[in-house]
Structure 1
Amino acid sequence: MTAEIMLKTLVPARPSYSCALCRRSPFTRLSTIKCRSMGSAASETEGPAYTVRQLNDQYEKAHKAFEDNFWATKMNLTGSSSAALAQTKTDYDTFLGDAQNLQAVRDALQDPQLTPQLRKTLEIMQKTFLCYITEDPKATAMKEKLNQLEADLGQSRNQMSLGYTNASTGKFVKASSVQLRNTMRTDSSEDVRKACWEGMRTVGPHVAAKFCEIVKLRNKLARNLGYEDFYDYKVKTAEGFSKRELFQKLAPLEEATRPLMAQARKALVHTKGQSAVQPWNISYSLSGDIEREMDPYFPFEGAVDVWTRTFAALGIQYKGARMRLDLCDRPGKYSNGFCHWPQPAWRRDNGEWVASEANFTSLATPNAIGSGKTALNTLLHEGGHAAHFANIDQGSPMFSQERAPTSVAYAENQSMFLDSFIDDAAWKGRYALSREGKVIPGEAHQARH
């Protein structure tokens, strides 16, 4: 007995083109064909397995093209282009938002002879496409405009000349936002700390106009799609519940911990004076002396070694992954650590393992106090992300990517556990060693904890 089921196959949609950073194969669209699903094995160009194979291939190409441009622009590499970033993001969104892809998956799911693995893969594809499908052409146009606005804002922020004015000399000292925050945490001079705080405050006016335009358009997009606002849209697609439900979960936690925060601020004022809670003083008041005392036990040049030995002792493996690390702060570089995967890990239907490629970054200034700890904390956290996604062994790259429908809480759980080691006294007793091989004194542990 046979049944006719409408499936989709891939045909060229537009010619390929190249950008300064990558050459990309033409993306394709899905057109209707017939295939037999019962009574005989599907051929290599028909059936659910073929649909999965083609969608995997198309997703992988779109994902990698965008991620390569994302890394290049965020790291401010030579030849990077915000226009190329916006275009590859639009191509990526177009693929994920193509209703024909979703229909092909739904058609394939009707096949009564699906294997459990194929069904599992098709279901994650369906869930992924549902997060991005927008039937309204206006919404699609808004997404495309947002991609360009966000790329332009990122480029503008990267090119901003940030720093502080030295109160003693009157000279402007160039410093990234990371260096400014680190100086506020470690410098003994209140004048310097306040100058750094004022330097940080220049970011707001610089980005305000473009950022507000993005916020307005994001909210307009989300409301057009039936959500309360853009945050509600993002929470719903990533976590599966609304912003309102999220705040209902978090409100009791905030209310229960609010007295502890008030008590801590009161105790800080009592021990160090009212000025201790000024915004340019509070991080120094809480940790400045301790950070200086701890600094020799986190030498910058030892961060990678400590990270790898820690993970090896925990039995963490990377399954052949290749990682690109960019650890040092520099002008024009994106001012936040992150880990992304231009190549997601997955297993092809012929059993071939595709190892992941991970890019992650830190923002250490090697000669600054706290730089070694900053680098190591990032390695533990972002390296945790890399290990997590390097070990996802499923039948599609859609299982091993960090965007919706992947839960943010799920993605951060392992990494936050791993970076917590840096404040663990037992771990520090084994791994936090000075250049001379000395361990942190016991009294320093007590002061920290």
Structure 2
Amino acid sequence: MSEDAVKLVEATQEHWRALETRFHHAYWDSQIEASPDHDRLRAELELEVSRAKGDRDLYRAVLDALDARPGDPELARSLEVLRLSLSGNQMDDDLRTQIVELSSAIESDFASFRPVLDGQRLSDNEIEEILTHSDDGELRRRAWGASKEIGTVVADRVRELARLRNEAARALGFPDYYRMSLDLQEIPEAWLFETMDGLDRLTAEPFRAWKGSLDDALAERFGTRELSPWHYSDPFFQLLPPQGGVSLDEFFPAADADRHALATFERWNVDLSDVIATSDLFPREHKCQHAFCIQMDRSKDVRILANIVPGERWVETMLHESGHAAYDMSIEGSLPYLLRRPAHTFTTEAMAIMSGRLVRDPRWLTEVAGIPEEHVAEIAGDLHAASAAQSLLFARWGLVMVYFERDLYNDPGGDLDARWWDLVERFQLVRKPRDRRGPDWAAKIHIAAAPVYYHNYLLGEMLASQLRAALERDCGNLIDASAAGPWLRERFFSPGASMPWDTLVERATGAPLSAADHAAYLSS
């Protein structure tokens, strides 16, 4: 039976490698240049991949092979990874086609949509520029409203997509798609929400105090205590505003965030020059306005999509995405294709988050970004507070997303517009504008395009703190620790998906995942 299982795994992964590589190239093309032809090919190949993973005979064969309890750990893990991939794709082919075509169409709309304000088509970067710098309250209100217009365009289809995903999940015996997704991500639902409730308790009062100070500053700036969502500096209040921390924009006047990312990872003996050379890093029309890292072939073809403009935000984003790239590039190449990926989504998010936080590290600013020491010294006392504030802010925003998605899949036809604002007011302490009507929740691309994902950011925040504490315990200060790269490769990156995430975390850091180091990070 063991020989048959080996042959089954080898044949399947060779087939999937070819399919997935073709799909990744089509997906990349659809994101760097939205067009009907690119969107059609992307949807066709996504459907082909899903059908391959929906093979019922293969699914039964994998279950039989697992029942035989193979003695080789790598083979057993490969079969389990196969089972997880196959399970979520066991569905009627008509339903599969509807899901793929609908999700592709929604994502294409996000890539190409630009709201119009005063006769000008605005990018996300331009809206955030208004919300960061303008003192014109009416302009801010209209810019914030423009950022939500895409929600109205896609909301009905996002609800339908959730219903279709639920239909597929219920056919497999799950209550809904949300709970199926957690199960297939090897995340126990009870454990996750116990952890999220703990994160809520950990961050609630520090966030309330920080936001109170921020609101005082904004009230003075705008001349009103009646603050609205557009008085904050981004459409979802997920990014640290200048008044809530330290703005570093003046230190990054050029659109060269890629240079800072390269220099950072070179200090850890991680060469990302090939990644940067094949990436698409600057904004233009018909291109996805967000940022992501993609592993094209689970080998060395790793790329980043970004929209770099001057300022702190895109430096942090490039450090974040480069953290993903470093992980992908450093997985042991001799592993089977099925295991040549991160142990879990949140383990790669942890590396990305730890890397992104460097933008507010005093040593990084002087030694890597080259900012004169006397300038950094003037703000050094505020830098860590700003970094901790960003983590607080993102935790509260992430809790909105996690709880909202659970509600979305529990009842796609419910009053999601009201539920969204209930959660925003509870976790972010931002009041719903008077008479506001509309599907503001649907303006967040992740809800449609990266479903049941956001908890990975929050678990990643916790693990990022734990990972840096372990690194600095063993290697010294992270900024100039040349040993950090080898440590990360050996203990964190190279195993890929050859072991479950909880085993990897304890192996790398010496302890199970907990909030202890994150609590220390937030309070120090």
* TM norm structure 2: 0.64
Other structure's SS at 1:82 match: helix
Aligned residue among 88, 105, 111 for 1:152: 105
* Paired residues of 2:88 and 2:169 also in contact (CA < 8 A): no
1:424 corresponding residue in structure 2: 361
Other structure's SS at 1:178 match: helix
Aligned residue among 204, 229, 234 for 1:279: 229
Aligned residue among 256, 267, 271 for 2:202: 256
Matched, 1:397 2:337: yes
Deviation at 1:75, TM superposition (A): 1.5
2-structure distance, mates of 1:178, 1:239: 36
Cα distance change, pair 109–288 in 1 and its aligned pair in 2 (3 A): closer
Cα distance change, pair 336–301 in 1 and its aligned pair in 2 (3 A): closer
Larger radius of gyration: 1
1:91 corresponding residue in structure 2: 48
Aligned residue among 356, 375, 382 for 1:440: 375
* Paired residues of 1:389 and 1:401 also in contact (CA < 8 A): yes
Other structure's SS at 1:69 match: helix
2:318 corresponding residue in structure 1: 379
Give the 5 Å matches for 1:47-446.
Answer: 49-76=6-33, 80-105=37-62, 116=72, 119-121=73-75, 123-133=77-87, 137-138=91-92, 140-164=93-117, 171-242=118-189, 244-273=190-219, 274-275=224-225, 277-283=227-233, 287-288=241-242, 294-317=248-271, 324-345=278-299, 356-364=300-308, 366=309, 371-393=310-332, 394-401=334-341, 406-433=343-370, 440-446=375-381
Deviation at 1:372, TM superposition (A): 3.9
Gaps of 5+ in 1: 8-36, 38-46, 165-170, 346-355
- What amino acid does structure 1 have at the position aligned with 2:331? I
% identical equivalent positions: 18
* Paired residues of 1:342 and 1:359 also in contact (CA < 8 A): yes
2:482 corresponding residue in structure 1: none
Deviation at 1:48, TM superposition (A): 5.2
Deviation at 1:418, TM superposition (A): 1.0
2:506 corresponding residue in structure 1: none
2-structure distance, mates of 1:438, 1:183: 31
* Paired residues of 2:46 and 2:100 also in contact (CA < 8 A): yes
- What amino acid does structure 1 have at the position aligned with 2:325? A
Deviation at 1:109, TM superposition (A): 6.9
Pick which of 75-84 and 308-317 moved more.
75-84
Cα distance change, pair 200–150 in 1 and its aligned pair in 2 (3 A): same
Cα distance change, pair 62–135 in 1 and its aligned pair in 2 (3 A): closer
Cα distance change, pair 302–136 in 1 and its aligned pair in 2 (3 A): closer
Pick which of 284-293 and 379-388 moved more.
284-293
Deviation at 1:155, TM superposition (A): 1.9
Other structure's SS at 1:340 match: strand
Deviation at 1:326, TM superposition (A): 1.4
- What amino acid does structure 2 have at the position aligned with 1:220? E
2-structure distance, mates of 1:136, 1:292: 50
* Paired residues of 1:300 and 1:373 also in contact (CA < 8 A): no
1:225-262 deviations in whole A, cap 9, x for unaligned?
Answer: 222322222222113322x4311221122133222222
Other structure's SS at 2:304 match: strand
Cα distance change, pair 109–155 in 1 and its aligned pair in 2 (3 A): closer
Other structure's SS at 2:305 match: strand
Over the aligned positions, Cα root-mean-square deviation in angstroms equals 3.3
* Paired residues of 1:146 and 1:217 also in contact (CA < 8 A): yes
Deviation at 1:190, TM superposition (A): 3.1
Other structure's SS at 1:363 match: coil
Other structure's SS at 1:339 match: strand
Deviation at 1:103, TM superposition (A): 4.7
2-structure distance, mates of 1:251, 1:61: 42
Other structure's SS at 2:280 match: strand
1:130-158 deviations in whole A, cap 9, x for unaligned?
Answer: 343369653x4323210110111122333
Cα distance change, pair 272–55 in 1 and its aligned pair in 2 (3 A): closer
* TM norm structure 1: 0.73
Cα distance change, pair 300–398 in 1 and its aligned pair in 2 (3 A): farther
* Paired residues of 1:183 and 1:196 also in contact (CA < 8 A): yes
Pick which of 101-110 and 174-183 moved more.
101-110
* Paired residues of 2:279 and 2:304 also in contact (CA < 8 A): yes
* Paired residues of 2:9 and 2:78 also in contact (CA < 8 A): no
Deviation at 1:49, TM superposition (A): 4.9
2-structure distance, mates of 1:68, 1:180: 30
1:325-357 deviations in whole A, cap 9, x for unaligned?
Answer: 111222222232111111102xxxxxxxxxx21
RCO comparison, higher one (Cα < 8 Å, 6+): 2
Cα distance change, pair 186–320 in 1 and its aligned pair in 2 (3 A): closer
2-structure distance, mates of 1:121, 1:425: 46
Gaps of 5+ in 2: 386-524
